[in-house]
């Protein structure tokens, strides 16, 4: 967490919104877990996984080889509930072959927000708009 003590004794904290942190750290971790599920459990090729996640095959390779998105992967993979949500994302994307219908997009967004709100330290400290509106989760 970006917190440090200043010379005068008060704590300085970087102004960062929960979704800003999510963009940098949480969403790449969610994609990494989903990529691993698609390739390792559902038998997708890296190219097919890249297509449904709308990323490059190189990104999938980086997710699988733990070179990208690693900050929260262990937390997501070790939590049964969070892993089940990630698996639901993978199954949904698999079923719809990456189709971007409004229904699929909204379900994808809600599932990602459900994971993010549980692992994002900023969302836990300051709240999350998606949680306040009731968008996150099932």
Whether 10 maps to a domain, the answer reads: no
Whether 21 maps to a domain, the answer reads: yes
| Torsion angle defined by CA atoms of residues 103, 55, 27 and 137, in that order, rounded to the nearest 10 degrees | 20
What's the domain range around 57? 16-133
- List the pLDDT tens digit at each of the 138 positions of the chain: 445 554 555 445 566 777 887 888 899 999 999 999 999 999 999 999 999 999 999 999 999 998 988 889 999 999 999 999 999 999 999 998 867 789 988 999 999 999 998 888 777 777 776 555 555 554
Q: What are phi and psi of 11, to 5 degrees?
A: -90, 130
Whether 41 maps to a domain, the answer reads: yes
Whether 95 maps to a domain, the answer reads: yes
pTM for the full model?
0.81
> Domain total for the chain?
1
Whether 7 maps to a domain, the answer reads: no
């Amino acid at each position: 967490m970006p917190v440090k003590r200043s010379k005068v004794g008060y704590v300085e904290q970087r102004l960062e919104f929960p979704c800003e942190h999510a963009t940098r750290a949480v969403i790449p971790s969610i994609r990494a877990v989903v990529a691993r599920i698609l390739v390792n459990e559902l038998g997708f090729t890296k190219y097919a996984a890249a297509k449904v996640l709308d990323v490059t095959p190189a990104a999938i390779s980086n997710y699988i080889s733990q070179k990208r998105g690693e900050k929260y992967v262990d937390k997501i993979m070790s939590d049964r509930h969070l892993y089940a949500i990630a698996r639901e994302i993978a199954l949904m994307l698999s079923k719809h072959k990456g189709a971007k219908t409004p229904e699929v997009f909204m379900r994808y967004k809600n599932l990602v927000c459900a994971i993010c709100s549980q692992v994002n330290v900023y969302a836990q400290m300051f709240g999350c708009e998606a949680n306040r509106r009731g968008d996150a989760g099932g």
